[in-house]
Structure formats: structure tokens, C-alpha cells
Structure 1
Amino acid sequence: MRRALLAITGLAAGTTALVVLKGSPGATQVAQDRPVAEAPIAPDGPSAPTLTPGATDPAGGSVAPSASTTARPSPRAGASRTPGTAARPTTAAPKATTSAPRPATRTVTGPVVGYKYGSLQVRITLSGSRIVDATALGLPQGGQSGLRSDDVQARYSGTSGQVVAKQSANLDTVSGATYTSDAYRQSLQAAIDRA
């Protein structure tokens, strides 16, 4: 009776393991090539001893060959695994980052500065402590004042203007736009001081 119970239990465990492992994406080539009669390795905890044909069971009798112990390896993945072994899932190691975190960008706006032709204020964008962009807000448009404003904006502002290049308010005066240049530098210096 005990032999029959062991044989049925072994057959059920072997069938269950084959069904589970057949669809397992973690089956490795080493596990697939292991001979059927080799004792299983159970790294995750204790497992039941594997009995081979002709061996004696703990009760003292000999064990009859069963379907799970006499099966030949199948060419399909996972079919040759013995009952009691578990497929180990493989996980990739986390990637190490080597770049330093980028400093946050922030915007600082200078005060409104009034001058002979109107008023303006300068807004700068900083990445860390470095100025990466600058622009003038509220410049007069149209007529001679508009032309002067356009000249100052083109020379000083933007990501490639003098403000970014010099990283200070020490800018060259735009010819023909002295008042506008002075107002721009004044608002810019106040924005840099606030930053």
C-alpha cells in the first residue's frame, strides 16, 4: 500500500512539475541537460529524497521503476527536469548611473527700469549658478525706440548673447542705444543680485 501511495504521489508531483516548468521562461540550459537519475538540487529549502530504480525506500522495501524515474530526456525545454527542482527566475542587476544629477533651472526677473524712451525689465534663466538665457521684457516697439530695442535685444539676449557669454552685467554699450543699454544693464544687475 505504501509503495503504491509513493508511486502515485511521485507521478502526480512529476506531472505537476513538468506542466509548471514547461511554460517557465526561467528554465536554463544546465537544468535542461541534467540527467533524470541525478539527485535534484534544492537551494531554496529541504525537499523529499529522490528514489532511483532498484533502491530501497525508508520502509525497507525496494522501489519499483515509475514513469517519473524512467523517463528519457525530451528535446523540448523543461521536459527533462526532475520533480522537486524549481526554476530560478533570472533578474538583471540594476544599472549604475555615472552622470551627476542636472542642476535645476530657475528664472529670476529684475526690476522694471524706466528710461528716456520707455521702460524694460530683464529676466534671466539660471542652471545652478550659471546664466543660460536672458531676455528683456516690455521694450518699446515701433519707430526709432523699437529699432534701438531690437538692437539691444539681439546683442544681449538669448542663449548666445553677451549676458550668457560674459555671465555678468558688464556688457558693451550698443551703438546708438545708450539709454536702452544702460537700462538693460541696470535691470540685469539687479536680477543677478537676486539670484
Structure 2
Amino acid sequence: MRRAFLAITGLAAGTTALVVLKGGPGAGPATAQELPAAQAPVVPGGSPAPGGAAATPSAAAPSVSATPGASAKPSAKPSADRKPASRSSTRTSTSTPAAPRTTTKAPKPTTRTVTGSSVSYKYGSLQVRITLSGSRIVDATATGMPLGGQSGQRSDDVQARYSGSSGEVVAKQSANLSTVSGATYTSTAYKQSLQSALDKA
């Protein structure tokens, strides 16, 4: 009876010692010499194990290498799996949009017609009408001139020399015209009406 009591007491003390040794800092595995002699394992029936050998704990605490001054050094090289974070380089365009080109075309000169005063002469009367683009004469013609006969022939000669877009009036841009041979009166009347039209223009 006394043996059974001692065995139970020893088992309880051994379990407590194991828990304390495992939980304590720097605790190593417990050996049979460190346990009290009374903590011999008990086999069923209350008798100690053959040979009286001390019980060895089945689960030994993991060994901790206690090298003084040794500390865990982080690996100098980064892991190969670790990739540097990619920088999202979004460039914002700071260039100001070009202003739309405004092509300023020179306005087309307005075309206008000016008619000179009616001039009477020996064979009838006439009026010179000029067409201007801006301030330039681009065409000229005489109206009211006699037709047919000798007077009509003189009228045709004067018209052919002075009038039209390629006549002398457009070429000289003035009333300073040369007199048509054989049509002096008609030429003089034409120049007088032309000068009147230029004065109005």
C-alpha cells in the first residue's frame, strides 16, 4: 500500500516537473538522473519496472541551440520570386493644343460699273461705261454711238481701239488715249465721257 502511494506521488511530481522543464527558458530534455529516485515507472499491479530503471519521458523537448551572441541574420539577397513593384509611369501631356489656323484670304474686290456723262459730237452722242474691280479698270465700252455708214465705221474703229478687256483703256488705266486716225471727233467724245466716268469712280 505504501509502495502504491509512493508510485502515484512520484508520477504526479514527474509530470509536474516535465511541464515546468518544457515551459521554462533554456530547458533541455530531462534525464533519468535529474528525476528523484521515487519516480520509477510503475507497471500495472503496483510493482516497479524490471531493473529499477528510471522512466525516460517519451516526448523530449526540442533542442534549442543556445550559442551566445548568435542572432538570425536576414538574407542579403532578395528572393528570386520577389519582383520589384512596377511603377506605373503615366505621363500627362502638358503640351497645349495648337490653335486652329485661320487663313485670312484677302476679300475679293467688288466689281462695279460706272457710266460717264453723255457727250455730243459731230456725228451723234456717246457714253462710256467702265467696269472696275477695286480701283482697277477691267473693261470699257461705249454706248449710243451711231451705227452704219461712215459714222458707224468710225464708231467701230474707236470701239476696237479703246473698248474691251484688252483695249487701250484697260492697258493705260486712264483717259490719256491716242487718237484714232480718221475718227478725231469720235475719239475726242470717247475720251471726254471716259474722264467723266473716272471722276465718278
TM-score, normalising length from structure 2?
0.49
The aligned counterpart of 2:129 is 123
Shift of 1:117: 0.3
The aligned counterpart of 1:51 is none
- Counting aligned pairs with the same residue, the percent is 81
The aligned counterpart of 1:145 is 151
> What letter is aligned with 1:131?
I
The number of residues matched between the two structures is 103
Deviating 4+ runs (over 6 angstroms): none
Aligned partner of residue 114 in structure 1, secondary structure: strand
Change in CA separation of 1:143 and 1:94 when aligned onto 2, cut-off 3 Å: farther
Aligned partner of residue 169 in structure 1, secondary structure: coil
The aligned counterpart of 1:166 is 172
> What letter is aligned with 2:143?
L
Aligned partner of residue 120 in structure 1, secondary structure: strand
Aligned partner of residue 175 in structure 1, secondary structure: coil
User: Does residue 1:102 correspond to 2:108, yes or no?
Assistant: yes
Aligned partner of residue 172 in structure 1, secondary structure: coil
In the TM superposition, 1:35-184 aligns within 5 A as 96-184=102-190
Shift of 1:159: 0.4
Cα RMSD between the aligned structures? 1.4
The aligned counterpart of 2:198 is 192
Give the structure with higher Rg (CA): 2
> What letter is aligned with 1:103?
P
> What letter is aligned with 2:131?
T
Q: Which has the higher contact order (CA 8 A, sep 6+)?
A: 1
Cα distance between partner residues in 1 of 2:132 and 2:103 = 25
Cα distance between partner residues in 1 of 2:136 and 2:156 = 25
Aligned partner of residue 108 in structure 1, secondary structure: strand
Gaps of 5+ in 1: 1-92
TM-score, normalising length from structure 1?
0.51
